[in-house]
Amino acid sequence: METLLQSKAHGGMQGVYRHHSVSTGTAMTFALYLPPGEGPFPLVWWLSGLTCTHVNVMEKGEYRRACASLGLALIAPDTSPRGDGVPDDAEGAFDFGLGAGFYVDATQAPWSQHYKMWSYVTRELPALALAQFPLDAARQSIMGHSMGGHGALTVGLRHPGRFKAISAFAPIVAPSQVPWGQKAFGHYFGEEKALWRAHDSVSLVEDGARVDALMVEQGSADPYLAEQLRPHLLQAACAKAGQQLTVTVREGYDHGYNFVSTFIDEQLGWHAARLRE
């Protein structure tokens, strides 16, 4: 593993690291913030959205002060494989291909060779990070934004014993029912609709997935709210299933990191309280 950056921040250390991934067959880069102290530290996973890398939350998320105060480590992987030979959308669209891995293992060529983000974020990177850094495997939670909110919800719902809490900013809650998800799943999975359901948080709740702590925050001025995000679908599924869900609508906020950075301290505090239980 190669260290690309280590920089002190709020008494802790912000690092950026690169390694070869067996899952994707490419080099992968991730950011990790460690708070002051000896550890092992409770770990919050941050999954980023369309077009993003680890850099977006690291430079715009404003999480380090809260993480330092709360004693939380935060890890932010990339959103897709990258490099020579990794296919991209032929028309360069932002919602598919590079930067848009949707946290799934693709089964359809040519995407299936490298687009193995589910394996990377659920198995390979956790094993690497827990072996290399002072992190507490028994105290993990997961959060994300937009496509990464989709990832946080689906990863968390399918690993209820691993994560103490799951939250998301402006998530794509039902990718099987909206254009972004239908485009991605159609390319990555083809007509394998069982895989569509396995990576759709509304479908997972409908099919019996249950967790202890689930939270969504959404800006009322988000331009993608009605067409792509549709949090009411998750609210309805959770209400019908008896699954606890807290949804907070933030009046006047849009989809971007100004929204995220405004409320990330509160959301991290919510995670910290559950990681102490």
Taking only Cα atoms into account, the Rg of the chain, rounded to an integer number of angstroms, comes to: 17
In three-state secondary structure terms, 88 is coil
| Chain centroid, CA 224 distance in Å | 18
Angle at 38 between CA 35 and CA 39, to 5 degrees: 75
Active site residues: 146, 222, 255
Residues 6+ apart with CB under 8 A from 237: 202, 205, 206, 243
Instruction: Give DSSP secondary structure letters for 195-234.
Output: HHHHT-HHHHHHTT---S-EEEEEETT-TTIIIII-HHHH
Which helix (H) or strand (E) is 205 found in, with range? helix 201-206
Distance from C-alpha of 277 to C-alpha of 265, rounded to nearest angstrom? 19
Give 33's strand partners.
14, 74
